[in-house]
A and B are shown apart, each in its own frame.
Chain A
Amino acid sequence: MSTLTGVPETVEAGERAVRVRRPRRRPDRIPYLLLLPCLAVIGVLLLWPLGQVVVMSFHQLGIRELRGDREWPWVGLGNYGEILGDPFFRTVLRNTVLFAAANVVLTMILGTLVGLLLNRLGRRMAAFVGGCVMLAWATPALTGAIVWKWLFDDTSGLVTWAFNELPDGLSRALFGRTDWTGYGWFNSPLTFFGVLTLVVVWHSFPFVAVSVLAGLRSVPGELYEAARADGAGSWRIFWKITFPLLRPVFGVLVVLSTIWDFKVFTQQFVLAGGTQDRSTFMLAIYSYAVAFSPPPKYGVGSAIAVILTVILLVVTAIYVRMVLRQEES
């Protein structure tokens, strides 16, 4: 087909030979013309850079290579070797995986509980709580993180004040200190990730709650009535009825949350105040810092980005299969 020449390879690769019968008409060029601008944008701004980041990860790329026109020195898997041999990378990978796992689990639990709760509340109360929850979702990641940073400010932050208000005996027994003024929440990895988890879960549980609620509304009420008549408690009802019926919803939500939590950047950038604090690095910010902090190492940064992408691609493959299966049924 002559109209297909502008289409990137990847589109053709996934092609399935579905012949659509279109009697009395030759194959229409119009859909391809309509798609052309879109394909061009996606090809140039998403797919090409995606290929390029892989190419770059095999080269040594610094400020000199960027300025000059000379060929990029090929280093093969050298960048990957450098990263994987660096014990620091293992710390980063561990941070990323643990953080993502903790955040996905917490977001799913909180979101599901709130979804179930919204489903139970009366109409007005549900609208009110739902509206409030929506505000957390609507807040940009950037300003949300800035406010949380202010809440945890070590001199005048509300959280610092609240900890100072604890009875001294209790505070000492629990935390071993009574004066919280000047306590650096963002200085040790443990408290840093604690606060970051709070910020990210706060921002992402509303989406889970609203989606779960939408799913719950599609479950016929009689099922629950029957279960309750049989004397089943809430816990049993959830695992025996709600969960199996909403399994596809939960599947998609877990995958989306995993993808989002693996590449948290903005909130971390704000809470850490930039890219200086290496002890709290995760993959996304590590890649950025390696590439853009002097001396810039674009090749090594690309290799880290590729590792992140491959992890997410695996998760995405699961996601696409799930969505397609649902569209079919």
Chain B
Amino acid sequence: MTTRRRPRPARVAANLAGLVVAAFAVFPVFWMISTSVKPNREIFSATPRPLPAHPTLEHYRDVLAGELIPGVGFPRFLANSALVAGATVLLSGLIALLAATAVARYRFRLRTSFLVMLLVVQMIPLEALVIPLFLMIRRLGLYNTLPSLILVYLGFSLPFAVWMLRGFVAAVPKDLEEAAAIDGANRFQVFWRILLPLVAPGLVATSIFSFITAWNELIFALTFISTENRYTAPVALTFFFGRDDTAWGAVMAASTLLTLPVMIFFVVVQRRMVTGLTAGAVKG
């Protein structure tokens, strides 16, 4: 946005500051990946190097092929996490789409109240709900099952999903739907044939957000699951690796496996997240 060229020293200083910021932001991630491909003797060496002299995948092999408890390895925990996150995404996407359609397409009496409620419930500290939800899950007989997690993550991701999706639904021109209706399509056909394909990109972005919420969550997974082979990946990471402070290579390999999908997804939806979270604070 600056049209005028700045004097050279100022530009150099700005670029240098930029590099420092970039290094600070990236370094832990870099160090995680770098450690994960170093042989143990380099990890515990007295003079650490930034990059491995002899890169190795042994830690990934250990993490993926090794058994953390008899017969169960890290892939099982990744699969548990993927199952929980996948189910959360599907349910949350479907329910959010219905609600977003209502808010974006209809004027009704409680519309504003509903939107305010969406904002407010997003601010409920989930940490404060662990105890009542723990009791509820026990009463429902869902304690120590993966569906218990799907259920609570659905609750956590839904308000933001609706908030985010309503913009996408509103962006689909109403004329299209009206034209289809005039051509004799019923409401369901309009929804399925017209609205859904056009909202699909927004649905993907929203789904990714729900996925990240479910995939990263630790406290509830820690509290609701007691059988080890039902642990999600974050719980397995804190339990099996957190215990043993010497296996940093394996810890970093497992952390990398947990982080990478989130990072890839995050880059895809990053711009939507900002607009969703600051909700109209930024114009333009």
For window 203-262 of chain A, which residues contact chain B by CB distance below 8 Å? Answer: 206-207, 210-211, 214-218, 221, 224-225, 248-249, 251-253, 256, 259, 262
Q: Report whether B131 and A56 are in contact in the complex, using a CB–CB cutoff of 8 Å.
A: yes
- Is A14 in contact with chain B by the CB < 8 A criterion? yes
B8 at the interface (CB under 8 A from A): no
Chain A residues near B15 (CB-CB < 8 A): 121-122, 125
Contact A147 B132 (CB under 8 A): no
Residues from chain B with a CB closer than 8 A to the CB of A249 are 278, 281-282
Find chain A residues with CB under 8 A from B245 CB.
153
Inter-subunit contact A291/B130 (CB<8 Å) = yes
Near B by CB (< 8 A), chain A positions 278-308 give 284, 287-288, 291-292, 298, 301-302, 305-306, 308
Q: How far is the CA of A90 from the CA of B67 in the complex (A)?
A: 45
B170 interface contact, C-beta 8 A: no
Instruction: Give Cα A253–Cα B105 distance, bound, in whole angstroms.
Output: 30
Given contacts A150-B252, A316-B123, contact A143 B32 (CB under 8 A): yes
Residues of B within 8 A of A301 (CB): 131
Give which listed residue, A41, A122, A153, A202, contacts B25 with CB less than 8 A: A202
Contact size class for B? Answer: 35 or more
Complex interface: chain B residues within 8 A of A31 (CB): 102-103, 105-106, 108, 111
Find chain A residues with CB under 8 A from B121 CB.
42, 46-47
A150 to B251, CA, bound (A): 9
Residues of A within 8 A of B132 (CB): 48-50, 52-53, 56, 302
User: What residues of chain A lie closer than 8 Å to B185, measured between beta carbons?
Assistant: none
**Nearest chain A CB to B187's CB is how many angstroms away?**
8
A135 interface contact, C-beta 8 A:
yes
Measured between beta carbons, the chain B residues less than 8 angstroms from A49 are 129, 132-133, 136
Say whether B131 contacts A302, CB under 8 Å. Answer: yes
Q: Is A71 close to B, CB under 8 A?
A: no
A262 to chain B, nearest CB (A): 8
Which among A12, A137, A139, A161 has the highest number of chain B CB atoms within 10 Å? A139
A12-50 at interface with B (beta carbon < 8 Å): 12, 14-20, 22, 27-28, 30-32, 34-35, 37-39, 41-42, 44-50
**Most A Cβ at <10 Å: residue of B108, B255, B274, B277:** B108
Asked if B26 CB lies within 8 Å of chain A CBs, one says yes
> Quick one: which of B48, B215, B248 has the most chain A CB within 10 A?
B248
Residues of B within 8 A of A77 (CB): none
B residues 244-284 touching A (CB-CB < 8 Å) = 245, 248, 251-252, 255-256, 258-259, 262-263, 266-267, 270, 274-275, 277-284
User: Do the beta carbons of A207 and B114 come within 8 Å of each other?
Assistant: no
A315: which B residues are within 8 A, CB to CB? 123
Give the complex CA separation of A319 and B116 in angstroms.
11
Q: Give the complex CA separation of A4 and B109 in angstroms.
A: 11
Question: Roughly how many angstroms separate A306 CA and B24 CA in the complex, as a whole number?
Answer: 37
Beta-carbon contact of A284 and B125 below 8 Å: yes
Secondary structure type dominating chain B contacts:
helix
Pick out which of these stretches binds chain A: B53-61, B151-159, B172-180, B199-207.
B151-159
Is B25 within 8 A of A136, CB to CB? yes
Q: How far is the CA of A207 from the CA of B276 in the complex (A)?
A: 12
- Judge whether B262 and A138 touch: CB under 8 Å: yes
Q: Closest approach, in angstroms, between the C-beta of A49 and any C-beta of chain B?
A: 4
> Taking the complex as formed, is A104 at the interface, i.e. its CB lies under 8 A from any CB of chain B?
no
Chain B neighbourhood of A215, CB < 8 A? 281-282
**Chain B residue contacts of A263, Cβ below 8 A:** 125, 127-128
Indicate the member of B102, B136, B223 with the most A CB atoms within 10 Å: B102
- Interfacial chain A residues near B130, Cβ < 8 Å: 287-288, 291-292, 305
B186 interfacial by beta-carbon distance below 8 Å: no
B78 near A: Cβ within 8 Å?
A: no
A124 to chain B, nearest CB (A): 10
Contact with A along B102-146 (1 / 0, CB 8 A): 110111111111101101110111011111110110100000000
Would A146 and B123 count as touching, CB distance under 8 A? no
When the two chains form their complex, are residues A52 and B135 in contact, meaning their CB atoms are under 8 A apart? Answer: yes
**A136 in contact with B29 (CB, 8 Å):** yes
Contacts of A266 in B (CB 8 A): 218-219
Contact of A248 among B95, B125, B241, B281 (CB under 8 A): B281
- Cα(A305)–Cα(B219), bound, Å: 14
Q: How far is the CB of B146 from chain A (nearest CB, A)?
A: 16
The chain B residue with its CB closest to the CB of A144 is B28
Chain A residue numbers with a CB within 8 Å of B90 are none
Check if B35 is an interface residue, CB within 8 A of chain A: yes
B14 CB-CB contact with A under 8 Å: yes
- Contact check: which of A38, A133, A147, A292 meets B95 at CB < 8 Å? A38
Q: What would 11 A/B residue contacts be, using CB atoms closer than 8 Å? A: A1-B109, A11-B114, A31-B105, A46-B159, A117-B17, A134-B266, A138-B266, A140-B259, A146-B251, A302-B131, A312-B125
4 pairs of A and B residues whose beta carbons are closest in the complex: A45-B155, A218-B284, A138-B266, A38-B99
Q: A34-B101, A287-B127 are in contact. List 17 more A-B contacts (CB 8 A).
A: A10-B117, A16-B112, A34-B102, A45-B133, A114-B21, A134-B267, A138-B263, A140-B234, A142-B238, A146-B242, A147-B32, A155-B44, A161-B48, A211-B281, A214-B282, A308-B125, A309-B128
